[in-house]
Amino acid sequence: MTQDVAIIGIGLHPFGRHDTLTGRAQGAIALRAALKDAGIGWDRIGIAYGGSHDAGNADALCNDLGLTGLPFVNVANGCATGGSALASAVAAIRSGSAEFAVAVGFDKHPRGAFNPHPRDWGLPDWYGETGLMLTTQFFALKTRRYMHDHGITEDALVRVAQRAFRNGALNPQAWRRREMSYGEIAESMPVNLPLRQYMFCNPAEGGAAVVLCPAEVAKRYHAKPIIVKAAVVRTRHHGSFEVFSPALAAQQAPAPTVTASRAAFEQAGVAPRDIDVLQLQDTDSGSEVIHMAENGFCEHGEQERLLRDGETEIGGRLPINTDGGCLANGEPIGASGLRQVIEICTQLRQEAGARQVPGNPRLGYTHVYGAPGVSGVTILQR
């Protein structure tokens, strides 16, 4: 029988811009907060997984927290870094190789769009030099085709962003806390049409950490442990439509999000209709729309109606990105996936204040997607 694993500590250094703090310092603040929440010391942690994209090796955190000799694995899986760190920490506890484990992430990116280097991704230099290797282009191209295939209009793209900023305004830790009108979003600067300025999240800074232990002892450390029912990571198959693709195969295959989601639901023994609160990767409005269906929460093409009818709002049947998501919090790559997990834990603990989902939510869901085609899904239970 598989050992259940619980989250007993969560810690966040709010995302945004923090000119006086290094990325690592923000990771250390988040990690200390998570340990304090769990009520245990760093010296009891048996294994750690952590990542940062632009702010150095995560295991440098040991220089802040203490050189206890623990195994510390640096994780580098793009936007899915947090999800990968968490899945690894869960596996370590399940296997019995540690009693207490940490998953941590932090980052600090330069302003403006990410500028990946082709060789880091196994691609030829000309692909970047001629102006074809931009993540924003991929999101726009995938969204445009999806809208064409499934009858989605720009209305859905505006409503996703509007809800993100509305939820962000309720979240004291969010970076962008100003509600925006429909028109302000719909008429914002074209970045990569059909996606506009306020439909994209921005690179940011921040830190996030969780502490885990076997579920059977979790209550000793936290009054409201959150059980990790599934933590799954999957990479792309031949034929799926992924970021950084100079060409797409003739025959399309399901995205890694689809395979990760199905595996997670199977592992947890629950279905999409059982989920009470969820986080979907919203690097941009279009991605969130696509991810609603790829994760099994609706049919392809049904999204626009759900958004218009308020079903994805905090009080709706399918509350998505209750903390404002990437759109309102920005994206420090290493920390972003763990922010999602922390928000779901906060909701399941009923500690989300003004943005609390009503009705005593029991099951939550998180989903990240990262270059060059990695998805991480967790299912969490009160």
Partner 1 sequence: MPHPVLARPDLIRFEGDTPHLVGSRCDECGEVYFPATDSCTRCTATRMSPHDLGHRGTLWSWTIQGFLPKAPYNGGETAETFQPYGVGYVELGSGIKVESRLTVADEAKLQIGMPLELTLIPYRRTDDGEVHTFAFRPAASA
Our finding on whether 117 is near partner 1 (CB under 8 A) is yes
For 68-84, letters b (16+ CB in 10 Å) and e give eebebbbbebbbbbbbb
Gyration radius of the chain over CA positions:
19
- The least distance separating partner 1 from the CB of residue 294, rounded to whole angstroms, comes to 17
Q: Looking at 46, 118, 301, 316, which residue binds partner 1 (CB under 8 A)?
A: 118
Our finding on whether 111 is near partner 1 (CB under 8 A) is no
Is the CB of 134 or the CB of 226 nearer to partner 1? 134
Q: Looking at 2, 67, 183, 238, which residue binds partner 1 (CB under 8 A)?
A: 238
Is the CB of 67 or the CB of 189 nearer to partner 1? 189
Our finding on whether 203 is near partner 1 (CB under 8 A) is no
Nearest alpha carbon to residue 370 among 255, 272, 268, 250:
255
Dihedral pair phi/psi, residue 120, rounded to 5°: -65, -20
Q: Looking at 125, 155, 187, 216, which residue binds partner 1 (CB under 8 A)?
A: 125
- In this structure, the chain runs to a length of 382
- The least distance separating partner 1 from the CB of residue 153, rounded to whole angstroms, comes to 14
Contact set for partner 1, span 160-199 (CB under 8 A): 189-195
- Choices 244-252, 254-262, 332-340, 347-355 (CB under 8 A): range interacting with partner 1: 244-252
- The least distance separating partner 1 from the CB of residue 241, rounded to whole angstroms, comes to 9
Whole-number Å distance between alpha carbons of 92 and 209: 16
Q: How many CB atoms lie within 10 A of CB 282?
A: 29
Whole-number Å distance between alpha carbons of 212 and 156: 37
Do residues 175 and 15 make contact, with C-beta atoms less than 8 angstroms apart? yes
Whole-number Å distance between alpha carbons of 62 and 75: 15
Give the three-class secondary structure for 127: helix
Whole-number Å distance between alpha carbons of 21 and 9: 23
Q: How many CB atoms lie within 10 A of CB 3?
A: 12
Contacts of 213 (CB under 8 A, 6+ apart): 5, 6, 8, 38, 93, 99, 100, 101, 221
Our finding on whether 150 is near partner 1 (CB under 8 A) is no
Our finding on whether 148 is near partner 1 (CB under 8 A) is yes
- The least distance separating partner 1 from the CB of residue 130, rounded to whole angstroms, comes to 4
- The least distance separating partner 1 from the CB of residue 295, rounded to whole angstroms, comes to 22
Q: Looking at 20, 131, 183, 223, which residue binds partner 1 (CB under 8 A)?
A: 131
Is the CB of 229 or the CB of 236 nearer to partner 1? 236
- The least distance separating partner 1 from the CB of residue 127, rounded to whole angstroms, comes to 8
The count of chain residues that interact with partner 1, using the rule CB under 8 A, is: 38
Our finding on whether 126 is near partner 1 (CB under 8 A) is yes
Our finding on whether 41 is near partner 1 (CB under 8 A) is no
Which two structure tokens, joined as six digits, stand for 244? 């950084």
Our finding on whether 141 is near partner 1 (CB under 8 A) is yes
Do residues 195 and 143 make contact, with C-beta atoms less than 8 angstroms apart? yes
Our finding on whether 239 is near partner 1 (CB under 8 A) is yes
The identity of residue 78, as a single letter, is: G
Our finding on whether 130 is near partner 1 (CB under 8 A) is yes
Our finding on whether 254 is near partner 1 (CB under 8 A) is no
Is the CB of 286 or the CB of 319 nearer to partner 1? 286
Contacts of 148 (CB under 8 A, 6+ apart): none
Our finding on whether 113 is near partner 1 (CB under 8 A) is yes
Our finding on whether 36 is near partner 1 (CB under 8 A) is no
Our finding on whether 263 is near partner 1 (CB under 8 A) is no
- Choices 174-182, 227-235, 240-248, 362-370 (CB under 8 A): range interacting with partner 1: 240-248
Our finding on whether 249 is near partner 1 (CB under 8 A) is yes
Nearest alpha carbon to residue 382 among 359, 31, 174:
359
Our finding on whether 246 is near partner 1 (CB under 8 A) is yes
Whole-number Å distance between alpha carbons of 152 and 87: 33
Whole-number Å distance between alpha carbons of 238 and 244: 14
Question: Residue numbers of the site for partner 1 (CB under 8 A)?
Answer: 112-113, 115, 117-118, 124-126, 128-134, 137, 140-142, 144-145, 148, 189-195, 238-239, 245-251
